[in-house]
Homo-oligomer: A and B are copies of this chain.
Amino acid sequence: MSDSLAQSLTCIECGAAHSLTYRLECERCHGLLELRYDITRLQKDGPALLQGAGLWRYAPVLPIGDPAHRVTLGEGGTPLLDCPRLASELGVRRLLLKFDGPNPTGTVKDRSSATAVGAALQFGYRATSVVSSGNAGSSIAAYSARAGLRSLIFAYERASAPKLLHMAATTTDLVIYKGVYDDLISIWDRLVEERLFFDCGASRNAYKQEGKKTLAYEIAEQTGWRPPDVVVAPVAVGETFIATARGFRELREAGWIARAPLMVAAQATRANAVARAFRDGTAITPLKIGYTVAEGLAAGNPGKKGDWVLRLLREGKGLAGDAEDDEILATQRKLARVEGIWAGPTGVATLAVLARLVAQKLLDPAQTVCAIISETGLKTEAEPPSRTGTAFDHDSLRRLVTERLA
């Protein structure tokens, strides 16, 4: 396994470089930190640095030095699916879907859980914790179990049944919380300071976020280092968006790709603090939000990461948009019917936003667009079709088949 080329934790505000310890903000200005790597080595060695399959193929650009800490359930290496029929329905020239449902726990979170729990091992922690609407909770719980660590998972009371079952099965300690994500996060984040557990939240931990950067590396590698013109990424707190944008920037700096894609931030209309600020050209105003079917996007106050997303959008001439719950559910059905891809509402919000931006002529349809589909549909809770079955004999079955397939 290749060594990590991580060199520092650098403040995104003041540029101060810190050593690679467990640290959640800049000592000098309290700004957020991001990992920086030996770009010269990346330039010199090129993609030959990469070995093996899955997420840890990208170990040189991840911050876990010791192979013994590289916990894995087989995450990453997810398909990039060319979807010509859906592209034609949406009216874009070419549509690629980065389908992250086929990760071990069914979501993109497995990428960040691998590096978060890897970092927990690296820094000698015995317990992890996270506040979750469902996906992060079961993913962190699963990776903690795999690493032999305890986990304390705070799960949203409206999480779907499959998500709750999944969390209960994998965590050592499940606590159901009442109220919205944002409220609990703000007090939970204060406990992080006391170091009672390793921070597996999305707000500040650069080690955790880093795993999601592999989305950019995979998309670039799967397109022969000629990435799509546009990449649509979901934004709750902003982890997936920021990590993907940074991955592409790193790839361009390393000279592995010639040009970074234009980034689009996708939100649910019911939790659209970032998209709203982007449209209005203002700073972010935190929102008091309720339920959205895109459960994983239900953050009304994205905090400092929201500001970071906004800055990346403005610097990179990106776009932001949001979609209503009914558009998201219609997109879920369409994706399943037209391409056979069963993804959850959180996962298809990107596609619903893409459809809107194209319809509003905000996005040039003569481009290659990639949307990140962040979760499987298997965690969806909805009324199943009636289980009232029919018994058949040969004649009645034959009648039905000829009728239905006429």
Residues of A in contact with B (beta carbons under 8 Å apart): 53-54, 72-74, 77-81, 85, 99, 101-106, 127, 129, 138, 141-148, 150, 152, 156-159, 161-162, 164-166, 168-170, 172-179, 184, 187-188, 190-191, 194, 196-197, 332-333, 336-342, 376-382, 384-394, 397-398, 400-402, 404-405
| CB-based contact B157/A342 at 8 Å | no
- B-chain residues with CB within 8 Å of residue A53 when the two chains form the complex: 53, 77
Closest residue to A339 on the B side, CB-wise? B146
| CB-based contact B337/A170 at 8 Å | yes
**Are A176 and B389 CB-contacts (below 8 A) given A78-B74, A104-B79?**
yes
| CB-based contact B376/A187 at 8 Å | no
- B-chain residues with CB within 8 Å of residue A77 when the two chains form the complex: 53, 77
- B-chain residues with CB within 8 Å of residue A388 when the two chains form the complex: 157, 176
| CB-based contact B196/A405 at 8 Å | yes
Q: Report which of B78, B106, B177, B336 forms a contact with A145, defined as CB distance below 8 A.
A: B336
- B-chain residues with CB within 8 Å of residue A188 when the two chains form the complex: 397
User: Shortest beta-carbon distance, A403 to chain B, in Å?
Assistant: 10
Q: Report which of B166, B342, B387, B400 forms a contact with A105, defined as CB distance below 8 A.
A: B342
Closest residue to A222 on the B side, CB-wise? B53
| CB-based contact B405/A176 at 8 Å | no
Q: Supply 30 A–B pairs (Cβ within 8 Å), ascending by A.
A: A102-B103, A106-B378, A142-B342, A145-B338, A146-B339, A146-B340, A146-B341, A147-B340, A152-B401, A157-B388, A161-B161, A162-B378, A162-B379, A164-B385, A165-B380, A165-B382, A165-B385, A169-B332, A170-B336, A170-B337, A173-B405, A178-B390, A184-B392, A187-B392, A187-B393, A187-B397, A188-B397, A191-B401, A196-B401, A376-B378
Closest residue to A74 on the B side, CB-wise? B79
What's the Cα separation between A399 and B23 when bound, in Å? 24
| CB-based contact A385/B157 at 8 Å | no
- B-chain residues with CB within 8 Å of residue A147 when the two chains form the complex: 340
Closest residue to A157 on the B side, CB-wise? B389
Closest residue to A81 on the B side, CB-wise? B74
- B-chain residues with CB within 8 Å of residue A106 when the two chains form the complex: 106, 376, 378
Interface centre among A53, A80, A161 (most CB of B within 10 A): A161
- B-chain residues with CB within 8 Å of residue A145 when the two chains form the complex: 336-340
| CB-based contact A104/B341 at 8 Å | yes
| CB-based contact A191/B385 at 8 Å | no
**Are A73 and B176 CB-contacts (below 8 A) given A378-B379, A384-B161, A405-B127?**
no
User: Shortest beta-carbon distance, A179 to chain B, in Å?
Assistant: 5
